[in-house]
């Protein structure tokens, strides 16, 4: 039996087929538009008739919707009329009226059905960022229907992608929607008059009507459904309508009309841009079954697609030879989604003209319609494969790579040299050495160990007092007590905060910084630097440290609090981690492409600094080396898109928070305004008093002084606040999509925010909003932080443990700290790395605990040299010392070179925090430190100098201070003649050597040359000279003293020791 509903559907289809080829009477001539899909529809109807006795229809499409804002196209290559997203042709008609009565000041535009199409399409209409179908071009003249390409405020703010309509002086604008189905229609929307210019004559009349197709010859009398007047800035601005239970059948038209309100003025058409919102829902709509995959779709795909996605070639791992292959999909996910053509990747590519590729025969309109209607009907097939899981993009074999396995605690191996074991670290290191017939070197001398530990933890050599305290402590545990003192020192945070800021890409500028003479200062960014230093000093658990930086704004309801506690401020400042990347979008010439570039750079920073992965390689295609599908790159990036929303962008100079709450800001501003008012009154009195004093009136001078004191006292009561360069969710949440080949203007499949499948136990995990996420936020970044800081996460803890090892030994257990993937280095001691990682997590993610674990070991305490015979044997086995049979000599970093010179001279200004010390900006790049604001500011620690992306302080640049296009996970190290020349000739080193000589003279006993030489060694190398060195230095002083009259030989000696390799290397 053929059901009655099926027969009704078939009747509608056949009638619809006639109407698809309807006679639309446009432009005074009968222009029969026989659309290509008609053939497809009649073929389809024939197939359906043949299949009618085999199977009945069933409702598969209950409430389809058509949304004007989402549907209308105005870009180059679009047409008019326009099809819909379901594959129905000629659904949207962009029209104008053709007749009116009366002069312009009292004109009536006829809504008589004699409508004609807008035929011209253009870009940048009226000098605005609008693509539109319009009545006239050159010069442009409304009416028009268009879409904004970038934001513009004309009274109402239009965002990129939003539609706009406008009537003209001679014609009303008409948007026609042609129903392709039958059912009960619901219409909801509004006409929002959007423009504030032009006075009272800037307003519109609006109408919603229904009727038959347009006919320029006979017209028709439409049925009015709703009408009104909309005027910007008045209660009528939003002309809303909501209509229900309207019976429609295929071919019925709904018209949305706007005309310029004639109000007696001579130009009632200016400034009538209007936002039209119109959403049509047909309840109870039914579609008949379509032909099966085998009869209609497979031949179509064989003609157009299988050559690239078939037996011989499967680009992007997509096989379109079978329905199962389509459902399984490829690297971009399933090719089709049953019942949802608008969400089907295959449809998106076909509609965008990207599939088949250029040079191949494109699908016709009829073929596209058949494909969409088949998907809409549920993608039926004679042999249905059922639910097919998406193609596995990550396999169990992929997860066998060591870095993708969760770390586990290994049993300590047996070793022979138990006398050298102070820590489990030593057991793992000794095991590998003994397997090759080697062992650990002897301990370093205590003075060398002291200097090594101080440079490692504080970034400066030990003071004479520290040397005396440690060398005098001969009791057991003296070295452990030294480590505790160093870890408790405030300079620890400055040293290790700087290490982290390399990985985070910290800079004080917001642009690329490619011009040496220009600084684009990012005001308030220094607060993030101070946050990092304080977090390290406070030993904030590393999992908390990560969470605050990724999602501090989602941890607290900062937007609702009247007062911000220090904790609230800290959480917001922490998100500065996500603001370090270059953001050029403040400049007018940059648009959506550069917004995506900001996101891409952020992905590189986050993935390399936290996970040790080169995730950016999966932006354009699946990663070539690691099992990271392109889909996972965009799932991961989607966690940041609510905050860095390319469709609702905040320019960098607008993306800040005040350092106080909104309520506090109002309070501070009111207080300061009151102070300013009182100062203004006193200022007038002061001006009068000064005039009196000038005339030498009695007591006038005393009054002047009194008023100046009062003004100064009042100004001292003023309160202030600064900027926090933070990140938080902005604007409306927009759907996240993959980008074809990583190109910003080629969005493809919608994706769900989530994480990397290779690091998940099964399928890729999604970014589910945590319950404790701040109300109003997406919670995506907080979900990401929670995923990254799970105790069993394969990478997060491993990466920071390896980075700490790298800074203590000069090379990580994994020599590529920013790449733990297959193309990175394999770990030299994988079991040790796992053991340290588990221990680190079990002890509360404490970095200071990790330092103790490493530094109290015999491995760390080794000397940097061995007996020549032993060394020759070790070199033959392990020439690169990868197994650590001695301590590696390490060149100190650029900042440590400069800071150590200042410590040696006694000139280092230990003032912590605050705004950066500025640099000069000569065009030749030979920058220096600007004097001020305090006399000793030029001697602040290097971490407080202005951090530039490309042009650091020239002295630091010579010693490999990194260039930071994005971030730096491993600093380069070079040995160049320029470094030696800088130490010999730099005015900075020469001046500090002279100051150091004066310090030596004050410290030494009288004019005892031997004592002076000893003090030079203590201040520069943290040790005493041996007899040979003492004799050589005596002779040097004699020789230099005889060289020239007035030459300071002691200053020369100081400078020479500051130039030695021993000074430049960790012992």
The string of DSSP codes covering 563-611 is: S--HHHHHHHHHGGGGG-S---TTSTT--HHHHHHHHHHHHHHHIIIII
Query: DSSP character for 618?
Result: G
- How many residues appear in the chain? 1067
**Is 730 within 8 Å of 648 (Cβ atoms)?**
yes
Q: Are strands 92-96 and 173-178 parallel, antiparallel or unpaired?
A: antiparallel
SS3 sequence of 331-390: CCECCCCCCCHHHCHHHHHHHCCCCCCCCCCCCCHHHHHHHHHHHHCCCCCCCCCCCCCC
**Is 135 within 8 Å of 623 (Cβ atoms)?**
no
pLDDT for res 26: 63
Q: How far is CA 453 from CA 195, 485, 646, 819, 917, in A?
A: 68, 11, 47, 28, 28
**Is 103 within 8 Å of 47 (Cβ atoms)?**
no
Comparing C-alpha atoms, which of 374, 385, 383 is closest to residue 291? Answer: 374
Handedness of CA 401, 403, 404, 405 (dihedral sign): positive
**Tokens (6 digits) for 94:** 């962009």
| Cα-based torsion angle of the residue sequence 411, 413, 417, 418 in order, rounded to the nearest 10 degrees | 30
Comparing C-alpha atoms, which of 235, 234, 178, 175 is closest to residue 206? Answer: 175
Q: Please report how the helices 365-376 and 36-51 are oriented relative to each other, as an axis angle in degrees rounded to 10.
A: 40
Longest CA–CA span in the chain (Å) reads 121
- Residue the block writes with tokens 């079990």: 842
3-state secondary structure of 25: strand
List CB contacts of 22: < 8 A, sequence separation 6 or more: 33, 213, 251
- Residue the block writes with tokens 């992965």: 613
Q: Rounded to an integer, what is the distance from CA 59 to the centroid of its chain? A: 44
**Is 116 within 8 Å of 172 (Cβ atoms)?**
no
**Tokens (6 digits) for 405:** 């396995």
Q: Are strands 65-67 and 274-283 parallel, antiparallel or unpaired?
A: antiparallel
Q: How far is CA 783 from CA 503, 636, 915, 1042, in A?
A: 22, 11, 33, 72
3-state secondary structure of 845: coil
**Is 891 within 8 Å of 1064 (Cβ atoms)?**
yes
How far the first Cα of the chain sits from its last, in Å, is 93
Judged on CB neighbours under 10 Å (0-12, 13-18, 19+), 1062 is: middle
CB neighbours of residue 558 within 10 Å = 21
- Residue the block writes with tokens 């002779």: 1035
In tens, the pLDDT along 165-212 reads 999 888 999 999 999 989 999 999 999 998 766 555 578 999 999 999
pLDDT for res 622: 87
pLDDT for res 1007: 84
Tell me how far apart the alpha carbons of residues 1033 and 997 are, in angstroms, rounded to a whole number.
14
Q: How far is CA 700 from CA 693, 708, 1019, in A?
A: 5, 12, 59
Q: How far is CA 21 from CA 32, 699, 1013, in A?
A: 7, 101, 103
Q: Please report how the helices 796-809 and 491-504 are oriented relative to each other, as an axis angle in degrees rounded to 10.
A: 120
Q: Please report how the helices 987-1003 and 977-985 are oriented relative to each other, as an axis angle in degrees rounded to 10.
A: 50
The tally of CA atoms less than 13 A away on the side-chain side of residue 45 is 18
Query: DSSP character for 886?
Result: S
**Tokens (6 digits) for 302:** 């064989």
Handedness of CA 490, 494, 497, 499 (dihedral sign): negative
- Which residues of 249-365 form beta strands (DSSP E)? 253-260, 274-283
Task: Provide the b/e sequence for 143-173 (b: ≥16 CB within 10 Å).
Answer: bbbbbbbeebeebbebebebbbbbbbbbbbb
In tens, the pLDDT along 979-997 reads 999 999 999 999 999 999 9
Instruction: Report phi then psi at 282, rounded to 5.
Output: -105, 110
Domain boundaries, given as residue ranges, for the chain: 4-51, 65-119+151-283, 299-376, 541-656+727-790, 660-721, 975-1067
> Which residues in the chain land under pLDDT 50?
1-23, 27-60
Tell me how far apart the alpha carbons of residues 636 and 608 are, in angstroms, rounded to a whole number.
13
Q: Are strands 890-891 and 65-67 parallel, antiparallel or unpaired?
A: unpaired
Query: What is this structure's pTM?
Result: 0.75
ω before 337 within 30° of 0 (cis)?
A: no
Tell me how far apart the alpha carbons of residues 101 and 776 are, in angstroms, rounded to a whole number.
52
Tell me how far apart the alpha carbons of residues 215 and 69 are, in angstroms, rounded to a whole number.
26
**Tokens (6 digits) for 424:** 């489990």
CB neighbours of residue 55 within 10 Å = 11
């Amino acid at each position: 039996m053929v059901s009655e509903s099926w027969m009704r559907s078939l009747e509608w289809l056949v009638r619809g087929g006639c109407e698809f080829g309807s006679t639309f009477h446009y432009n005074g001539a009968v222009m029969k538009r026989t659309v290509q899909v008609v053939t497809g529809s009649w073929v389809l109807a024939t197939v359906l008739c043949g299949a009618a006795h085999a199977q009945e229809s069933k409702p598969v499409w209950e409430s389809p919707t058509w949304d004007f804002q989402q549907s209308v196209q105005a870009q180059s290559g679009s047409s008019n009329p326009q099809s819909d997203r379901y594959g129905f042709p000629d659904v949207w008609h962009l029209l104008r009226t053709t007749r009116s009565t009366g002069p312009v000041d009292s004109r009536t535009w006829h809504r008589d059905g004699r409508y004609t199409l807008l035929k011209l399409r253009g870009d940048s209409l009226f000098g605005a960022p609008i693509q539109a179908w319009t009545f006239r071009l050159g010069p442009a003249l409304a009416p028009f229907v268009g879409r904004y390409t970038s934001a513009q405020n004309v009274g109402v703010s239009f965002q990129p992608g939003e539609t706009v309509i406008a009537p003209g002086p001679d014609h009303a604008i008409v948007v026609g929607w042609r129903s392709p189905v039958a059912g009960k229609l619901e219409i909801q929307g509004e006409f929002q008059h959007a423009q504030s210019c032009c006075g009272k004559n800037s307003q519109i009349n609006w109408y919603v009507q229904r009727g038959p197709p347009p006919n320029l010859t006979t017209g028709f009398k439409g049925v009015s459904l709703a009408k009104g007047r909309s005027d910007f800035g008045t209660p009528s601005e939003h002309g809303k309508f909501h209509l229900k239970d309207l019976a429609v059948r295929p071919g019925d038209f709904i018209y949305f009309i706007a005309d310029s309100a004639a109000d007696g003025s001579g130009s009632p058409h200016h400034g009538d841009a209007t936002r039209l919102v119109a959403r049509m829902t047909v309840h109870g709509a039914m579609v008949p079954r379509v032909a099966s995959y085998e009869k209609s779709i497979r031949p179509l795909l064989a003609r157009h697609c299988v050559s690239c996605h078939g037996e011989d070639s499967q680009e992007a791992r997509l096989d379109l030879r079978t329905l199962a292959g389509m459902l399984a999909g490829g690297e971009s996910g399933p090719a089709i989604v049953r019942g949802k053509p608008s969400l089907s990747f295959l449809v998106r590519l076909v509609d965008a003209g990207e599939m088949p590729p250029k040079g191949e025969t494109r699908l016709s309109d009829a073929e596209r319609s058949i494909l969409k209607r088949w998907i809409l009907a549920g993608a039926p097939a004679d042999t249905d494969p059922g639910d097919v899981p998406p193609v596995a993009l990550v396999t169990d074999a992929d997860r066998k790579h060591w870095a993708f396995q969760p770390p586990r605690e290994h049993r300590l191996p047996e070793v022979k040299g138990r006398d050298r074991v102070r820590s489990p670290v030593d057991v793992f290191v000794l095991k590998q050495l003994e397997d090759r017939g080697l062992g650990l070197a002897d301990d370093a001398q205590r003075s060398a160990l002291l200097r090594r530990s101080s440079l490692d933890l504080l970034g400066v050599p030990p003071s004479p007092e520290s040397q005396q305290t440690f060398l005098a402590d001969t009791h057991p545990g003296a070295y452990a007590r030294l480590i505790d003192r160093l870890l408790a020192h405030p300079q620890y945070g400055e040293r290790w905060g700087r290490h982290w800021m390399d990985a985070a890409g910290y800079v004080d500028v917001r642009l690329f910084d490619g011009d040496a003479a220009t600084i684009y200062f990012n005001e308030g960014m220094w607060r993030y630097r101070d946050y990092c230093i304080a977090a390290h000093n406070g030993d904030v658990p590393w999992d908390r440290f990560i969470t605050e930086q990724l999602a501090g704004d989602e941890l607290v309801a900062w937007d609702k609090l009247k007062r911000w506690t220090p904790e609230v401020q800290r959480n917001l400042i922490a998100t500065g981690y996500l603001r370090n990347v270059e953001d050029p979008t403040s400049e007018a010439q940059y648009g959506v492409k550069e917004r995506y570039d900001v996101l891409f750079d952020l992905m590189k920073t986050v993935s390399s600094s936290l996970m040790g992965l080169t995730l950016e390689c999966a932006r354009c295609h699946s990663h070539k080396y690691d099992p990271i599908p392109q889909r996972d790159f965009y799932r991961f990036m989607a966690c940041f898109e609510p905050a860095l929303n390319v469709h609702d962008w905040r320019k960098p100079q607008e993306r800040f928070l005040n350092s106080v709450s909104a309520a506090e800001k109002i309070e501070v501003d009111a207080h300061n305004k009151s102070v300013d008012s009182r100062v203004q009154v006193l200022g007038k009195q002061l001006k009068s008093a000064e005039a009196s004093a000038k005339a030498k009136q009695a007591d006038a001078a005393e009054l002047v002084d009194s008023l100046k004191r009062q003004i100064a006292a009042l100004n001292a009561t003023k309160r202030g606040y600064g900027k926090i360069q933070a990140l938080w969710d902005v604007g409306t949440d927009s759907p996240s999509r993959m980008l074809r080949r990583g190109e910003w203007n080629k969005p493809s499949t919608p994706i769900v925010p989530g994480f990397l499948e290779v690091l998940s136990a099964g399928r890729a995990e999604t970014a589910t909003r945590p319950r404790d996420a701040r109300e109003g936020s997406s919670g995506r970044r907080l979900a990401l932080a929670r995923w990254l800081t799970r105790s069993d996460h394969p990478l997060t803890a491993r990466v920071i443990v390896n980075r700490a090892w790298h800074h203590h030994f000069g090379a990580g257990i994994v020599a590529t700290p920013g790449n733990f993937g297959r193309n990175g280095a394999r770990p030299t001691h994988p079991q040790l790395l796992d053991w340290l990682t588990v221990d680190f997590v079990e002890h509360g993610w404490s970095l200071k605990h990790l330092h103790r674990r490493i530094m109290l070991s015999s491995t760390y305490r080794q000397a940097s040299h061995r007996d020549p015979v032993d060394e020759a044997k070790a070199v033959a086995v392990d020439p690169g010392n990868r197994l650590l049979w001695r301590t590696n000599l390490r060149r100190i970093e650029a900042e440590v070179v400069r800071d150590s010179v200042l410590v040696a001279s006694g000139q280092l200004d230990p003032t912590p925090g605050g705004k950066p010390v500025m640099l000069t900006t000569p065009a030749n790049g030979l920058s220096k430190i600007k004097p001020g604001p305090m006399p000793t500011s030029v001697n602040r620690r290097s971490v407080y100098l202005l951090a530039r992306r490309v042009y650091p302080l020239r002295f630091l640049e010579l010693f490999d201070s990194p260039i930071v296009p994005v971030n730096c996970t491993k600093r380069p190290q070079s040995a160049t003649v320029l470094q030696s020349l800088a130490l010999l000739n730099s005015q900075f080193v020469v001046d500090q050597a002279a100051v150091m000589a004066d310090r030596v003279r004050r410290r030494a006993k009288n004019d005892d040359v031997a004592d002076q030489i000893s003090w030079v060694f203590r201040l520069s190398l943290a040790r005493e000279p041996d007899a040979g060195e003492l004799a050589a230095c005596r002779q040097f002083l004699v020789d230099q003293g005889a060289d020239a009259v007035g030459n300071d030989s002691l200053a020369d000696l100081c400078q020479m020791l500051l130039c030695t390799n021993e000074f430049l290397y960790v012992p």
